[in-house]
Amino acid sequence: MLEFEILKKDRRTNARAGVLKTPHGIVETPSYVVVGTHGAVRCLSAEDIPKTKTQLIISNTYHLWRTLGEKFQKFPGLHKFMWNGPIMTDSGGFQVFSLGFGREHGMGKFGGIDSRKTSSFETRRSSAPAAEAALRSRRKNPTDTELFRLRELSQDDISLESEKNLVRVTEDGAHFNDDYGESYLDAETSIKIQEKLGGDIIVAFDEPTSPLHDYKYTKESLERTNAWALRSLKARTRKDQMMYGVVQGGAFEDLRKESAEFIGRQDFEGFAIGGSYGESMGAPRGDMLSVLRWSTPYLPEEKPRHLLGIGKIEDVFDAVELGMDTFDCVIPTREARHGSLWTKFGRFDIKKGKWAGSFMKIQGDCGCPVCAEMKITRGELHKLFKNKDSTAARLATIHNIFFFNDLLRQIRESIKEGGFLEFKKEFLTNL
């Protein structure tokens, strides 16, 4: 029932094509995992999901648990609630970071750009990373002095950590105090919730760290994550769910190796790499590649490997090349809602005035229902976005998810046919 089989390994890289068998269906890997945080893919109905060629959806323990509140005990399980295909749930560990440190520092993710306002005081205090990002995005060559000054601010920010934090991490677990009120999540609770949610794959409770965290904190955090991993294993009562252990360790080589070595020898059915730094300010793109290179040698080859929260198309190609099997990311769905449509020639913003009245297709040879069946033109979709019609985001979401899923299908085929590197080069050149 729960089984992972590698069908073909690439000769020149660590890429592999395989099959992940779950009680609710088969996932051909490598596969892009669609994000359905609250038990639904944003903007899509249950009937829309199969149209996108989605194989696996990831929902979130923390958000479902907090949103459902009283109704949680009566929750019928995600398969009845969302769709009857393969589902994984994230442990809620990410929220220890995103609602805590990440929020404090105005980061969408590790050092990413997020200058949305919270309270004015906090915004001002935590605006350094966002300010640097903004500076970089506006100016081609910020001077060293500017960046240095901003980084000094960043360090000041770190020293203010935990004061006013909405999340307090202890040895045992994490205390939250957010819009839902106060709550406490630890390994046992996370696993109990994930068993109740009923996903085919569940994830051990962990604590991600940021590039802004120093070695000392990252090491302490790693020890917590390892301890929580053991507790997560011990807490499980169901045998019809796979459990993935999570590798952490920031951008520190010895910590990553220590983590992968420790997690890799535990009795998990699969492994996830967390805290992987996508390309963003404060986390050079190379960091993610290094993290994968350091970690994967310690993970049992025959078990599936998931890369948490990644990513962009280039990242996916690289991760496949380095031996990863699945990836979840918000990009296809979020960017769709924001008007960014993906094509094999890159993405474009459908809201721009230039598309008004355009008879051009989103992508001429796209096989998604929006392009191939509805034959929607850019002009039509532009108008829907401008009219704030709710179908705009839905159609864009269907297209983008299909695009990513179809890309992964082509990647799988290229691995099976022995032409992965050629396909990667060709695709990225046209993008």
Partner RNA sequence: GCGCCGGUCGGAUAGCGGCUAUUCCAGGGGACUGUAAAUCCCCGGCCUUAUGGGCACCGAAGGUUCGAGUCCUUCCCGGCGCA
Q: Which of residues 80-99 bind RNA (CB under 7 A)?
A: 90-91, 93-95, 97-99
Quote the CA–CA distance of 294 and 248 in Å, as a whole number.
Answer: 11
Q: Considering the complex, state which of residue 91 and residue 343 has its C-beta at the smaller distance from RNA.
A: 91
Tell me the site size for RNA, rule CB under 7 A: 71
Active site residues per annotation: 90, 328
- Please identify, among the stretches 66-74, 226-234, 337-345, 364-372, the one whose residues bind RNA according to the rule CB under 7 A: 337-345
Site string for RNA, 228-267 (x = CB under 7 A): ------------------x-x-------------------
Q: Strand, helix or coil at 314?
A: helix
Q: Considering the complex, state which of residue 300 and residue 357 has its C-beta at the smaller distance from RNA.
A: 357
Does position 206 interact with RNA (CB under 7 A)? The reply is: yes
Q: How far is CA 37 from CA 62, 69, 211, 330, 377, in A?
A: 9, 15, 25, 9, 30
Q: Shortest CA distance to 29 belongs to which of 1, 59, 4, 60?
A: 4
Q: Considering the complex, state which of residue 6 and residue 200 has its C-beta at the smaller distance from RNA.
A: 200
Site string for RNA, 135-174 (x = CB under 7 A): x-xx---xx-xx----------------------------
Q: How far is the CB of 246 from RNA (least distance, A)?
A: 5
Q: Considering the complex, state which of residue 6 and residue 158 has its C-beta at the smaller distance from RNA.
A: 158
413 token code pair: 């085929």
Quote the CA–CA distance of 36 and 213 in Å, as a whole number.
Answer: 29
Does position 406 interact with RNA (CB under 7 A)? The reply is: no
Residues 409 to 428: which contact RNA by CB under 7 A?
none
Q: Strand, helix or coil at 339?
A: coil
Interface residue with RNA, options 272, 320, 381, 411 (CB under 7 A) = 272
Instruction: Identify each DSSP E strand in 200-344 by its residue range.
Output: 201-203, 242-247, 270-273, 305-307, 326-329, 340-343
Q: How far is the CB of 386 from RNA (least distance, A)?
A: 6
Is the CB of residue 341 less than 8 Å from the CB of residue 368? no
Q: Considering the complex, state which of residue 264 and residue 422 has its C-beta at the smaller distance from RNA.
A: 264
Tell the residue number behind the tokens 């660590």, with chain if given: 14
Does position 193 interact with RNA (CB under 7 A)? The reply is: no
Residues 24 to 53: which contact RNA by CB under 7 A?
35, 37, 42-43
Tell the residue number behind the tokens 């992968």, with chain if given: 260
Question: Which burial class, exposed, middle or buried, applies to 241 when counting CB atoms under 10 A from its CB (0-12, 13-18, 19+)?
Answer: buried
Does position 311 interact with RNA (CB under 7 A)? The reply is: yes
Residues 347 to 386: which contact RNA by CB under 7 A?
349, 352-354, 386
Beta carbons within 10 angstroms of residue 23's beta carbon: 13
Q: Shortest CA distance to 31 belongs to which of 431, 416, 407?
A: 407
Residue 311: is the preceding peptide bond cis (ω within 30°)?
yes
Tell the residue number behind the tokens 């560990």, with chain if given: 93
Q: How far is the CB of 7 from RNA (least distance, A)?
A: 26
Interface residue with RNA, options 9, 24, 51, 63 (CB under 7 A) = 63
Beta carbons within 10 angstroms of residue 299's beta carbon: 24
Q: Running DSSP on this structure, what letter comes out for residue 418? A: T
Instruction: Give CA 370 to chain center in angstroms.
Output: 25
Interface residue with RNA, options 17, 169, 310, 366 (CB under 7 A) = 310
Does position 328 interact with RNA (CB under 7 A)? The reply is: yes
Q: How far is the CB of 90 from RNA (least distance, A)?
A: 4
Quote the CA–CA distance of 78 and 194 in Å, as a whole number.
Answer: 10
Does position 330 interact with RNA (CB under 7 A)? The reply is: yes
Site string for RNA, 97-136 (x = CB under 7 A): xxx---x--x-xx--xxxxxxx---------------xx-
Q: How far is the CB of 391 from RNA (least distance, A)?
A: 9
Tell the residue number behind the tokens 């760290």, with chain if given: 209
Interface residue with RNA, options 261, 279, 406, 413 (CB under 7 A) = 279
Residue 304: is the preceding peptide bond cis (ω within 30°)?
no
Q: Considering the complex, state which of residue 43 and residue 411 has its C-beta at the smaller distance from RNA.
A: 43
Q: How far is the CB of 351 from RNA (least distance, A)?
A: 7
